[in-house]
Amino acid sequence: MEDKLFGCINIYKPTGMTSHDVVSVLRRLVGIKQIGHTGTLDPFAEGVLLVCIGKATRLIEYMADDKAYIGTVQLGKTTTTYDTEGEVVKTSDKKVSLEEIKIALENFKGEIEQLPPKYSAIKVKGKKLYEYARKGEEVEIKPRKVTINELRIENFDQQNQTLELYINCSKGTYIRSIANDLGEVLGTGGYLTKLVRIKAGKFRVEGAVKLDDLKSEEDVEKNLIYPLEYLDYPKYELNEAEKEKVSHGISVDTSLSDGVSILTYSGKIAAVCKIQNGKSVLAKVFI
């Protein structure tokens, strides 16, 4: 039904590497190009990077995309990139209290509008924002709506004005922007000094595999996770006759409610479909 390498691997991305670097390493190990990740991490960031291999890449759009991070913010300075890789452009001697920070953080909970950093990979008119920034060119950056599901203070060093935050958020949220914007609200400036992604969908940092521990295709295969249980959609097990229909691209009737569903056969993913009035419209077929 499926290729030998079909599944996801929960990688702990180290600092100093791009998400694409991680994918390149895996491609060399397994000798296939069909590999993709579910969410970019900046080079200075570390933590969970979920990578799909083989035809499992076709499931990326259906994987839960909420993320959770531990971010360390240094108050008193502002940088061009909103993190340690940029140049310091403003400084402040102002000291704030824990209570002031708690009040300021209320501005960043729920659905908010966020302005992405100038130094980011978002494309405007076919070029990435950081390409404009590096050339000193101005370009209009439009705010984007993101959702902060949970935001809490893990630790605060008042003497050094360093703050550790737990952030659970929607896909596309820039933690760097939260650090910068929090600094603006507090009147101190702020930038991100460390970022660890501790969760991506149902995948957690505790189960992540270090990239250095993957030396061969066998190592990758040993750590592959079959994605069925991580797909948060209703499941429908096909019988033999229905399986034959689906394998030929023919829809089948189901008892499922309208929406995205996963069709399975012998406990394996057979197809992704959209149920409309009890009828399955096939979207991705794997048999």
If asked whether residues 73 and 188 sit together in one domain, one would say yes
Q: Give SS3 for 198.
A: strand
If asked whether residues 221 and 245 sit together in one domain, one would say no
If asked whether residues 254 and 270 sit together in one domain, one would say yes
Does the residue 269 lie in any domain?
yes
If asked whether residues 26 and 46 sit together in one domain, one would say yes
Owning domain of residue 145: 68-192
pLDDT computed for residue 142 by the predictor: 79
For residue 64 the two structure tokens come to: 């839960």
Once rounded to an integer, what is the mean pLDDT over residues 176-200? 96
Percent of the chain residues past pLDDT 70, beyond the cut: 91
pLDDT computed for residue 277 by the predictor: 77
Candidate from 91-100, 162-171, 208-217, 250-259 with smallest mean pLDDT: 250-259
Once rounded to an integer, what is the mean pLDDT over residues 121-139? 64
Does the residue 98 lie in any domain?
yes
Residues with a known catalytic role: 42
